[in-house]
A and B are shown apart, each in its own frame.
Chain A
């Protein structure tokens, strides 16, 4: 194998790892945000949940920025095609993320408009949590592309049944992340509500997993013969089941880790369905954006690999350190 090819494959995995890291970490604060008005009964509950995510949410969101930057640097055509093609959907995500970023801070400081900022945080979390999955479902199912790699569909193209199903699947995974992390950090009735919700969400997540699996079999040719995909699907279903059990037993940390494992499994399925494509085109597979026709040069991929190998272990090190500083239940 040529060096360039090895680098392209490596970057397929590294971009996947960045998005997985983002899903696991920002997943729990997106999930908590989306559920906030339904879980938090009073100001004290909101304070507890905001305190649980306050010190870490911003670092979590950097995984998205870094993932986006890495996609830009490693596979610029994918970044260009998807972001311009999904323009309106992306704008909705951006508006949501803007509101979400400020509303945590504004809720505590702008006391006269707390209800507004609570809902801003919640809707700002809900929309990305749903739309990220819809976007992923689209690039797996395939989008209309021309021979210049440009998207030729429109906003409605993005709202086909398969992407919507994947959107709901991702959303349920994010909600489970939220429930498990919330349960890990809270006490009393709030904790019990999160556990009860988590069990129901786990069931919904499992059902959506089966539905998505069936739809994948129908819509994605060759997917049923994909062995790594089946292994990952098994991991996802097993970890959802175990998450529900651990939640029920009140074991916060194992539940959170198992829920995170299920997310890794989801990305494993997506990766094994896609490889070596990143964005499938409808119709002819020749127009797919793959790691081979959409990557940067060998030198750029090498430089980026060096940056990642030096930088990411340090990042992971101090991120773990910061979580340890804020470990334990939030006590009010």
Chain B
């Protein structure tokens, strides 16, 4: 296999594994901020206990994100050195800014959360929780800025074959930055809240730690209910942006073989590129035109409007995009049931639904991955949309065998880490809030 394909596999593997953790971190920092705020206001030690427990979990998840994130910071140089030369004038700045404006803050104040409970005042501790929350979200913002610039580049000019920055704010806040950020953060909050609700549900089913489980489940599930429903709005906004700024990607998402007026929205089907047709398709007539342009007769560009060599893989784009939307719809359904059960005060007795919640915990992780894959597959064959092709972005001096070796090593290491991560996570959960302690040794 050639080095470009191998580097793509390696980036997909390392970024995909990394992306398990940051969305969860976003959601967990929100839960911790809420718990700490309640504790600060009512001074009820129950909330301190629950929060300590969640900080322990957050610390573990954060460490996994750090360990796997370092790789990505360097991977542009190691595997994508042409990319780094061509667009480093723009792309490097957000990565550096993430360190300066976000990651330092997140690391330092998480250190205070995990170790400093008895060393700082209650006010400083609450402030630290807020700063960790803000910093983790700022960290996400800078990474989304970098990624969005690859999708909808702006604020630059090509000079001497390189992209050169002309307007920092135009580059940073390009067409897709804010909506992608909103969509990704809400995905993180869904992930973290359902994860937390799953923990609470498990204690209820096991009839243990009930004092902690009930508030934990209630707080987490209300976040989940709100986000799972609002996510439809951000998802819609994001799709409209894609359709308007990356029409080839939207055509691939929908497997819209022909550009047409009154375009249908595909609900389910199996796209077949060789026959340019979608098998067993269920589609809603005119809905795509309505969704994008609010006009049932508006023309939507199809795959036939673009050059063959500038199209992404329709199969991968369609399946990942529709997989994400399918899961999103399931989340909304679960949210409605959750809300009904909470309002009617039957949630804690609805054992079947608590099992459903636990089983659903992995699904937002999958939805995050599918959404990310849809965004990246759909951008192909470009690394930077209409600026630099992926095939031209890779390092030229790294031999394929070395990349293969590193892929094998990353796979082995990540499998080991993930197994240990799960084991530790389950052991923290099975110890429970009553037995988990945080803080400086000897206190």
Contact = CB atoms under 8 A, between A and B. Distances in A.
Of the listed residues B82, B96, B440, the one surrounded by the most CB atoms of chain A closer than 10 A to its CB is B96
Given A80-B85, A109-B424, A152-B397, A307 B67 contact: no
Contact of B92 (A73, A102, A308): A73
Interface stretch (A87-95, A167-175, A252-260): A87-95
A58 interface: yes
A69 B98 contact: yes
Contacts of A90: 74, 77-78
Contacts of A81: 81
A219 to B, nearest CB: 24
Given A102-B63, A303-B165, A297 B413 contact: no
Interface stretch (A131-139, A210-218, A263-271, A323-331): A323-331
Contacts of B100: 66, 307-308, 311-312, 315
Given A79-B92, A91-B406, A55 B74 contact: no
A69 B67 contact: no
A106 to B, nearest CB: 6
Contacts of B33: none
B84 interface: yes
Contacts of A59: 104, 107-108, 111
The interface centre, meaning the residue of A64, A98, A150 with most chain B CB atoms within 10 A of its CB, is A98
A72 B60 contact: no
Contacts of B74: 68, 83, 90, 94
Contact of A315 (B104, B120, B441): B104
Contact of B441 (A47, A72, A95, A106): A47
B79 interface: yes
B66 interface: yes
B333 interface: no
Contacts of B93: 73, 300, 303-304, 307
B322 to A, nearest CB: 34
Nearest to A150: B397
Q: Is the interface of B mostly helix, strand, loop or mixed?
A: helix
Interface residues of A, number: 69
A309 to B, nearest CB: 10
Q: Taking each of B81, B164, B421, which has the highest tally of chain A beta carbons within 10 Å of its own beta carbon?
A: B81
Contacts of A68: 73-74, 77, 95
Nearest to B417: A102
A64 B78 CA distance: 16
A305 B107 CA distance: 23
Given A81-B81, A101-B70, A330 B441 contact: yes
A332 B84 CA distance: 48
Nearest to A302: B168
A80 B394 CA distance: 10
A299 interface: yes
Contacts, number: 229
A151 B103 CA distance: 31
B115 interface: yes
Given A106-B420, A311-B101, A315-B104, A83 B77 contact: yes
A77 interface: yes
Nearest to A60: B107
A110 B428 CA distance: 10
Given A65-B103, A80-B82, A105-B60, A55 B115 contact: yes
Given A55-B116, A91-B405, 13 more contacts: A55-B440, A65-B99, A68-B74, A70-B99, A80-B81, A84-B79, A94-B71, A97-B67, A98-B417, A300-B90, A303-B168, A307-B93, A332-B442
13 contacts: A51-B441, A58-B110, A65-B73, A65-B103, A70-B99, A72-B91, A81-B81, A84-B397, A85-B397, A98-B67, A151-B397, A299-B166, A300-B89
Closest 9 CB pairs of A and B: A76-B88, A83-B77, A73-B92, A66-B99, A69-B96, A72-B92, A311-B100, A101-B67, A80-B81
Interface of A: 47-48, 51, 54-56, 58-59, 61-62, 64-66, 68-74, 76-77, 79-85, 87-88, 90-91, 94-95, 97-99, 101-102, 104-106, 109-110, 113, 149-152, 296-297, 299-300, 303-304, 307-308, 311-312, 315, 318-319, 322, 325-326, 330-332
Interface of B: 59-60, 63-64, 66-71, 73-74, 76-79, 81-82, 84-85, 88-93, 95-101, 103-105, 107-112, 114-116, 119-120, 164-166, 168, 395-398, 402-403, 405-406, 409, 413, 417, 420-421, 423-424, 427-428, 440-442
